[in-house]
Every structure is written in structure tokens, then in C-alpha cells.
Amino acid sequence: MKVKALIVDDEFHCRENLQQLINEFVPELEIVALASNAEEARISISQLKPQILFLDIKMPQENGFELLRSLGEHSMSVIFTTAHNEFALEAIKVEAVDYLEKPINIEDLQSAVKRAMSRMKTGQQNWKQLLSKIDNAGKHKVSIPTKDGFVFVGTDEIIHLEASDSYTYIYLTNERKHLSSKNIKVFEDQLSDNEFYRIHKSHIINMRHHLKEFSRSEGNLVRLSEGRTAPVSRRKLSDFLSRINTYANVA
């Protein structure tokens, strides 16, 4: 009996090319569906129960990591596919089991499938461990979606995040700045450890590394590294004050 596989990629030619390679060179797999985005993938996973997931990382709206986080309990083996070298480096850092760089090499594809099928037989699926590694890595690095893809920065480099409608400005050390298409709530969830705190509906600050001063006389204003400032809302003030001594000495 063939092993069921699902291909998730927002680019039509990439989906078709991978399907053709699998049909020609990996006959033990049956491609049960092709999905162009995370929502289509969730529907196919729920209905078709694939055993192997070929997952592109860079996709609009939700990337591959975000799709995995949304799935809940599943026993699929995951093989990442992407054309972007930075994702290969990040996948290695979080100990992803399998990774295919586009254009996909036939031997690499066959080897990745062989490992995935071996994990299925032993019950050692990789995706739960992978998510744990990603989440742990997220305590030290965060992915920032940009118009060209993603950039990965250390959390200690992040000074301040500021909402701008549905977008978010991320202010970094050395006067760097990125504008992300993700709203600030996404980053609040991603930066959920105690280093960061959302002091206002429009502001998240790095309390451990970049909080320099808090001033009541200036309207409950915080001063941060490199001259950044942000207001603390009245609703957040009490909780904010209870956290201060843990992270910084303030004037």
C-alpha cells in the first residue's frame, strides 16, 4: 500500500514539479492533494489524513511554521521545501529532520522520503519535536516577515515593537528598523516569554535588555535603548510596575 503525501506550496509550478518528481522517482508515495496555502492544507489534512507533508516555508498569510503550530495533534512526517537559503539555516538551528532546497535534487528527495518512512515505522515522527525546537529557538530568535521573505533576529536585538494599523514596526539595535505585514498580536504571542511585555495596545518593549527608565511625570513614559520611548497604558500600569525590578533598575 502506498504512503499518502500532501504537497503544500503557494507556487503552482513548484507544486507541479514536485508532484512530477515523486510520481517518476518515488513510486512508494501517492500524492493525495496539492494545497496552495495553509487553509487548503488544513482541509486536506483533516479529510485525507496524509502521512507525509511536503511543506513550503515561505507562504503568504501563514508560513509553514505557523501552519504546523495550528494543526494540533497529528502524526505526519514533515519535509520542508523552500528556495530560500536562510530557511535552511534556521531549520538546521531548530533541528528540522528533513529539508529540501529548490530546485529539488532527486537523490535528496529519495533520501528524505526514506527517512520519513523509517520514522513512520518506528513511530518517531519529527514534527512535534520540531515545533518544540522552533518554540525554544523563538526565545532567542524571531522571524520577521518582510516583502522579500523573512529575516531572523536575536530577541536581544529587539528594542521595541509598535503597531501601525495591521502592520508592525520592529525597532532593532544599531538603528535598524523593519516593517512587518503581521499585526502586533502575532508578535506578542511569539515573544510570550517574560523578556517582553505589551505595555500598551500599540507597544511591546524588551524589558530585560532595553528598558532604561520609567517616568510618571512624563505621562507614564518608558525610555528605551537608542532614544526610543513608549507610553504605558493605565490598564497595564500596575502589572508593568510589578515587573520592573526583575529586568532593570529604573530612575
Instruction: With H, G, I as helix, E, B as strand and everything else as coil, classify residue 218.
Output: coil
Please say whether the beta carbons of 157 and 141 come within 8 A: no
Tell me: the pLDDT tens digits for 185-201?
988 887 866 688 999 99
Q: Angle of helix 12-25 relative to helix 106-122, nearest 10 degrees?
A: 70
Q: How confident is the model at residue 141 (pLDDT cuts 50, 70, 90)?
A: confident
d(C-alpha 168, C-alpha 203), whole Å: 9
114: pLDDT strictly greater than 60: yes
Written out in words, the top-level CATH class of the domain with range 146-247 is mainly beta
d(C-alpha 80, C-alpha 68), whole Å: 11
CATH topology classification for 3-137 = Rossmann fold (3.40.50)
Higher pLDDT, 30 or 77: 30
| Backbone dihedral angles phi then psi of residue 25, each to the nearest 5 degrees | -120, -10
Lowest-confidence pick of 112-121, 145-154, 227-236 = 145-154
Domains of the chain by residue range: 3-137, 146-247
Taking only Cα atoms into account, the Rg of the chain, rounded to an integer number of angstroms, comes to 21
Model's pTM, two decimal places? 0.56
Average pLDDT of the residues in 224-240 = 94
d(C-alpha 216, C-alpha 103), whole Å: 57
Please say whether the beta carbons of 230 and 200 come within 8 A: yes
**Which three cell numbers mark 213?**
527608565
Beta sheet of 52-56, edge-to-edge order: 29-35, 3-8, 52-56, 77-82, 99-101
Instruction: Give the pLDDT confidence score for residue 68 in this predicted structure.
Output: 84
